[in-house]
Amino acid sequence: MKYLCDSAALIEGKSLGFDIDALRILAVRRAGQVYVYANRCPHRGVPLEWQPDAFLDTSASLIQCATHGALFLIESGECVAGPCEGESLRAIDCGEDAQGIWINPAAPD
């Protein structure tokens, strides 16, 4: 596992972007749970954010692609609206403990 960030850095209903070992990822905390995905829209392969750390729609309930407006469920990464509907973001294995949030980018989906 690779250290991502301190737990306090990822507050409820917010998202953060990271570049780790040439892998662009995003992390979101929802209902206390951390979700981590590759920062890559399945439609065109473009990064999702419209400005740094801005991955969520205006209601902070869905991940939104700034390029196409595609909407993804935070809990599963599944696209529920937009040109890649039915496809999903690539989940990154993650965990959280007293030291912070950890990822395993090499783990299979």
Tell me if 23 is assigned to some domain. yes
Tell me if 109 is assigned to some domain. no
Tell me if 76 is assigned to some domain. yes
pTM attached to this predicted model: 0.94
Parent domain of 42: 2-104
Q: What is each CA distance from 8 to 81, 95, 104, in whole angstroms? A: 31, 14, 20
**pLDDT beneath 70: ranges in the chain:** 107-109
Q: pLDDT value at position 30?
A: 96
Distance CA 62, CA 71 (A): 6
CATH label of the domain that carries residue 80: 2.102.10.10
User: Domains in the chain: how many in total?
Assistant: 1
Tell me if 75 is assigned to some domain. yes
pLDDT, tens digit, for every residue of 49-76? 989 999 999 999 999 999 989 999 999 9
